[in-house]
Amino acid sequence: MKTAYILAAYRTPGCRAKKGGFKDMRPDDLAAAAIKGLIEHTGIDPMSIDDVLIGCAFPEAEQGMNFARIAALKAGLPYQVPAQTINRFCSSGLQTIATAAERIIAGFADCIVAGGAESMTVVPMGGNKYSANPGLAATWPESYASMGITAELVADKYAINREQQDLFAVGSHQKAAAAIAADRFKDEIIPVEVEETLIINNNLQKHRKLISIDDGVRADTSLEGLAKLTPAFKLNGTVTAGNSSQMTDGAAAVLVVSEEFLHSISAKPLARFVSFAVKGVPPEIMGIGPVEAIPAALKMAGLKHSDIGLIELNEAFAAQSLAVIQELDLNPALINVNGGAIALGHPLGCTGAKLTATLLHEMQRRDSHYGMVSMCIGGGMGAAGIFEKI
């Protein structure tokens, strides 16, 4: 059986939907920027790429058609390089890495660009024209519960109170602000040039601007400030905009290769792909998905919780993150050491690849042997992927 390696992993900054640096940028252009940056950083021959797999949670509008193919061509890849769009909601980006690794392990490919992209400015949560299946809605209405309501249900079920959630959110912002101040994201971020229109002397003028920093982090976030926010999804609830992930625009690209490919270019990888698992849970408490996926990924890898030195756990909501940590008895000191989605954003289909880039670069800094990426998935699932530092 062959082995799959991660040669490189990069991401764009995460920018607030409708307000941030990418609000006027098409998502296919954003995805193209990530792919192009990956190729430029690695210096590989584009003709050596067997496929491009891009995850997207809501592949419609400017994210529609074969989104991955459009982004690949826009990135300047030769027309001979194929591409596929992959959707598993919030784990789409991680799924592309796993799918690429599976193909390489099977011997069907040697070099695949994986990744994800999402513009929540262009396509909002839930999409533009979705229509629920009336049969399923009638027999299992919980399957269509809003993400915020699922977080409230998880908070109730696992006794996660408002103060715990707000404290977790403050910690996310504090860690992210510290990481930015220490320039810890510089090795993983691909700066993106955008065009913005400004009013100068009563005239509209276009300017080019380089976006290189995540723009949703609030270093001054406080428990007192968050306590003033009203519940966003349920009267007398505990889930607020402040202890939920931010709606974000972003893209990421990861190069997954075989050992033969590494030898052919005399390169050293960041990590070995170890295992990946997806498990289903009740849709109405989808946030606990990692509780099932993480043990499955560990079992597949022949590892224990104590073997994992770093974890990137997507902070869809503070409530579900705390429930996962509580149920699996995870060490909080190893989780999201540079902040999470509450501060840095959750660009849906991009997130799995984005978190992988963050994890692998931090593993290099800390010399962590094994690391894990995990997230809950809308519709009632969880995913987890394990990587070994090389």
**Which one of the listed residues 56, 111, 350, 376 is annotated catalytic?**
376
Residue 94: closest CA among 336, 290, 231, 330: 290
Residue 209: closest CA among 4, 7, 24: 24
Question: Does residue 207 have an active-site annotation?
Answer: no
Question: Does residue 90 have an active-site annotation?
Answer: yes
**DSSP H helices in the chain:** 27-42, 67-74, 92-105, 134-139, 147-157, 162-181, 223-227, 259-265, 289-301, 318-328, 341-344, 351-366
CA dihedral angle for residue 341, residue 4, residue 101, residue 309, rounded to 10 degrees: -30
For residue 252, the cross-strand partners are: 11, 116
Q: State residue 196 phi and psi, 5-degree precision.
A: -125, 150
Element (H, E) at 385: strand 381-389
**Which one of the listed residues 15, 111, 346, 350 is annotated catalytic?**
346
Question: Does residue 346 have an active-site annotation?
Answer: yes
**Which one of the listed residues 90, 111, 173, 350 is annotated catalytic?**
90
If you ran DSSP here, which 8-state letter would residue 291 be given? H
For residue 119, the cross-strand partners are: 249
Number of H helices, E strands in the chain: 12, 12
**DSSP H helices in 241-368:** 259-265, 289-301, 318-328, 341-344, 351-366
Residue 370: closest CA among 349, 348, 353, 385: 385
Rg for the chain, CA atoms, rounded: 20
Strand duo 51-55 + 111-119: pairing: parallel
If you ran DSSP here, which 8-state letter would residue 378 be given? T
Q: Give the separation between CA 239 and CA 170, rounded to whole angstroms.
A: 14
Instruction: Extract the runs of DSSP E, i.e. beta strands, from 159-282.
Output: 192-200, 203-211, 248-258, 271-280
What amino acid occupies position 35?
I
List, by residue number, the catalytic residues.
90, 346, 376
